[in-house]
Amino acid sequence: MKSREIALIGIMLALSLMLNVSPLKVPTQWGMTIDLVAIPVVVVYLLLGYTSSLISLALLFVGLSIVSPASWLGASMKFFATLCVILGMEIAKKLTNFNPESYTGRRLIAFILSAYLISIAIRIPLMVGLNYY
């Protein structure tokens, strides 16, 4: 792993933890709040790739376990929810042969839609199972 990758992962991890403690949250109708903690991990995926995003996600779990008021339980739920997004993007990238270096508009739309649908298909059963546990 290059020092540039380590530095970017560190910066994005710090940004994620800052977003966790900041008041930038969107309240929902059913009592939850949607925060922006996972966005830097997705940015790491887009900039550095799958392996680096998994490393940053594991470090985010450790950081959220320490900083978050929800402790390790909230950190584990955030970990698995973000993991679904990263897995969905990686599977969609392989299915659509998407290359971020050179792509067309149709291929980009196909990648975004398939990543969205695959992420939801992974996330729903996983989160239902985790919530029953």
- 100-121: per-residue pLDDT in tens? 888 888 889 999 999 999 999 9
Residue 95: the pLDDT is: 93
Domains in the chain: boundaries: 3-132
Q: Which pairs count as long-range contacts for 20-27, CB under 8 Å and 24+ apart, including other chains?
A: 20/64, 20/67, 20/68, 21/67
Q: 34: pLDDT confidence band, cut at 50, 70 and 90?
A: confident
Tell me the average pLDDT across 61-87: 93
Second CATH level (architecture) for the domain 3-132 = Orthogonal Bundle (1.10)
pLDDT higher than threshold 80 for residue 44: yes
pLDDT at residue 133 above 80? no
Q: Flag whether the pTM goes above 0.85.
A: yes
